[in-house]
Amino acid sequence: MRPARWVPQPEYDHEGFAWVDVVCTDKGRHPLARLAGVELAGDSGMMSHQGRHWWPPTPDADPGSGLSRESLTFRCPRCRKHTYVKPDRWWPALRALAAGGVSKTELDVSLLPF
């Protein structure tokens, strides 16, 4: 996994708050596409629905719908790839990215190691 690109934004730089841009580049094969934004505040996290390129775990998902019953589903509008991430991996990964007081970061789902 390539190191995350860190973009400090001092105006958001207050304790425990971080914004993560969730993007896809298909491992660098296409220009950056935004899939979601996540706001982290202390122990809570909120995913924004802008663009609607992700879905939460969907317990009654139909097989073949492309959605997962247990994982978050990301669908890239450029490469059309689906990425599935279990919530118990997603949130710790975001918190690890946001650790260290940097308030704006980027996470490329095509580079996730899981």
Encoded tokens for 43: 């122990």
The region, left, alpha or beta by phi > 0 then psi within -120 to 50, assigned to residue 9 is beta
Fill in the per-residue mask, 7 to 46: x = in contact with Zn ion (CB under 5 A), - = not in contact. -----------------x-x--------------------
Nearer to Zn ion, 26 or 106 (CB): 26
114 vs 104: CA distance, rounded Å: 22
Please name the residues in contact with 55: beta carbons below 8 A apart, sequence gap of 6 or more: 67, 72, 73, 75
Nearer to Zn ion, 78 or 89 (CB): 78
User: Minimum distance between the CB of residue 51 and Zn ion, rounded to whole angstroms?
Assistant: 13
Nearer to Zn ion, 82 or 89 (CB): 82
Nearest to residue 19, comparing CAs of 109, 104, 90?
Answer: 104
User: Minimum distance between the CB of residue 103 and Zn ion, rounded to whole angstroms?
Assistant: 25
Residues in contact with Zn ion, total (CB under 5 A)? 5
Q: Which residues bind Zn ion (CB under 5 A)?
A: 24, 26, 76, 78-79
